[in-house]
Amino acid sequence: MQRARPAPADYHLISVMANFKTFEARVVRSIPLSDFTKHLELEVEGVNHFGYVPGQWLSVKAVTPDGEEMTRAYSIASPPTDNGHVAFCLNRVEEGFMSNYLCGLEDGATISFQGPFGDFTLRPPLRDTLFIATGTGVAPFRSMLHWLLANKERHQDHEFWLLFGARTEEDLYYKKEFQELETKHPNFHFLPTLSRAPETWKGLHGYVQEHVGEIVGMRSDMHAYICGLDKMVKANRDLLKTLGWDRTSIRYEKYD
Ligand SMILES: Cc1cc2nc3c(=O)[nH]c(=O)nc-3n(C[C@H](O)[C@H](O)[C@H](O)COP(=O)(O)OP(=O)(O)OC[C@H]3O[C@@H](n4cnc5c(N)ncnc54)[C@H](O)[C@@H]3O)c2cc1C
Final residue in a domain of this structure, among 117, 147, 170: 117
User: For residue range 92-130, what is the model confidence (pLDDT) as tens digits?
Assistant: 999 999 999 999 999 999 999 999 999 999 999 999 999
Looking at the predicted structure, is the pLDDT value of residue 229 above 50?
yes
CB 87, CB 50: distance < 8 Å: no
Looking at the predicted structure, is the pLDDT value of residue 10 above 70?
no
CB 195, CB 168: distance < 8 Å: no
Mean pLDDT of 47-73: 96
Residue at 122 is within a domain: no
Measured CA to CA, the distance from residue 86 to residue 50 in angstroms comes to: 8
**108: containing domain:** 8-117
* Residues 248 and 135 reside in one and the same domain: yes
State pTM to two decimals: 0.93
* Residues 180 and 247 reside in one and the same domain: yes
* Residues 71 and 143 reside in one and the same domain: no
Final residue in a domain of this structure, among 117, 149, 167: 117
Residue at 1 is within a domain: no
* Residues 151 and 246 reside in one and the same domain: yes
Looking at the predicted structure, is the pLDDT value of residue 1 above 50?
no
Q: What amino acid is encoded at 2 in this protein?
A: Q
* Residues 161 and 244 reside in one and the same domain: yes
Final residue in a domain of this structure, among 89, 117, 145: 117
Residue at 35 is within a domain: yes
Q: Which residues of 23-62 are buried (b: 16+ CB within 10 A; e: fewer)?
A: bebbbeebeebbebbbbbbbbbeeeeebebbbbbbbbbeb
* Residues 15 and 86 reside in one and the same domain: yes
CB 209, CB 239: distance < 8 Å: yes
* Residues 109 and 157 reside in one and the same domain: no
Lowest mean pLDDT among 57-61, 96-100, 136-140, 219-223: 219-223
CB 24, CB 111: distance < 8 Å: yes
Give the E-state strand segments of 54-109 in sequence order: 57-63, 69-75, 85-91
Measured CA to CA, the distance from residue 166 to residue 41 in angstroms comes to: 23
Residue at 150 is within a domain: yes
* Residues 145 and 231 reside in one and the same domain: yes
Domain harbouring 144, CATH code = 3.40.50.80
Q: How far is the CA of 90 from the centre of ligand 1 (A)?
A: 9
* Residues 137 and 71 reside in one and the same domain: no
**Domain count within the chain:** 2
Beta bridge partners of 57: 75, 117
Instruction: Tell me which residue has its CA closest to atom 37 in ligand 1.
Output: 256
Instruction: Tell me which residue has its CA closest to atom 47 in ligand 1.
Output: 256
Residue at 196 is within a domain: yes
Instruction: Say whether 209 sits in a helix, a strand or coil.
Output: helix
Mean pLDDT of 67-76: 98
Instruction: Tell me which residue has its CA closest to atom 18 in ligand 1.
Output: 72
Rounded to the nearest 10°, the torsion over CA 58, 85, 94, 62 is: 60
Residue at 2 is within a domain: no
Give residues (CB < 6 A) around ligand 1: 57, 72-75, 88-91, 93, 95-100, 136, 139, 229, 253, 255-256
Residue at 175 is within a domain: yes
